[in-house]
Amino acid sequence: MAREAKDQTLEFDFRILKPSGETRWVSHSCTPIYGDEGQWLGRRESNHDITERRKAEARIAHMAHHDGLTNLPNRELYQDRLRQALEQSQPGNKRVAVLCVDLDLFKNVNDSFGHPMGDRLLKMVAERLRSEVRGSNLVARLGGDEFAILLDRTDATAAQQTMTRLRELSPNAWSWGISQVREGDTIESMFDRADQKLYAVKRGRG
């Protein structure tokens, strides 16, 4: 009588790239079969197409780390990327900067024209920032009308130039604060300095 050794089953997933360019995912399992006296008789193999499951998992992972309205990275993903940048910047290679962005009078837009118009404005701002920020840099929506930009492998002069260029795109539409990495910086300390500078700009306009 043959028996399957379930405890020895080998399972793995692999990807198939079809000539059309379509990608399919397959789950493969292989279980050895032994006879009554322990002799190996063969194996039982099976393949299952799990492409739709993989797509669903990818969508869920994307939703967990991206803003639903603008499709930009959210606060969690931004902080994770900033944490990685800070770890790689130590010691000595201090080429990381945080730019915090806050839309001016956004509440007035919502109150005067409604939330659909406010959502359209947020999408427009997200697309504008994304189109202007390239390379290893990252644009994120932190929530509400708050955005942030991570400038990685950028020195202080280049970071200031980037902020100036972005600010000049629409000088009266948003306020900016920038924080260049310092020795011993954390995510919180960099955000605190950027926020302090941002609100100083807002008070100056007030």
How far are the Cα atoms of 87, 96, 180 from residue 93, in angstroms, in the given order?
10, 9, 12
CA distance 38 to 40: 6
For the chain, give percent helix, strand, coil, nearest 5. Answer: 45, 30, 25
Q: What is the pLDDT of residue 78?
A: 94
- Does the domain at residues 67-205 carry the CATH identifier 3.30.70.270? yes
Residue 27: pLDDT band with limits 50, 70, 90: very high
**For residues 122 and 102, is the Cβ–Cβ distance under 8 A?**
no
pLDDT in tens, 155-172: 778 888 888 888 777 766
State percent of the chain over pLDDT 70.
Answer: 94
Q: Is 152 a catalytic residue?
A: no
- Estimate to the nearest angstrom the gap between the alpha carbon of 113 and the chain centroid: 31
Domain ranges of the chain: 3-58, 67-205
CB of 155 within 8 A of CB of 91? no
pLDDT tens readout for residues 177-190: 889 888 888 999 99
Query: At the top level of CATH, which class does the domain 3-58 belong to?
Result: alpha beta
Q: Are 148 and 140 in contact (CB under 8 A)?
A: yes
Q: Which of 145, 152, 185, 195 is catalytic?
A: 145
Quick: pLDDT tens for 40-81. Answer: 888 889 999 999 999 999 899 999 999 999 999 999 999 999
CB 136 within 8 A of CB 153: yes
As given in the structure block, the two tokens for residue 52 are: 């739709």
When the pLDDT of each residue in the chain is averaged and rounded to a whole number, the result is 86
Q: Do the domains at 3-58 and 67-205 have one common CATH topology?
A: no
Give the list of residues 6+ apart from residue 79 with CB closer than 8 angstroms, or none.
187
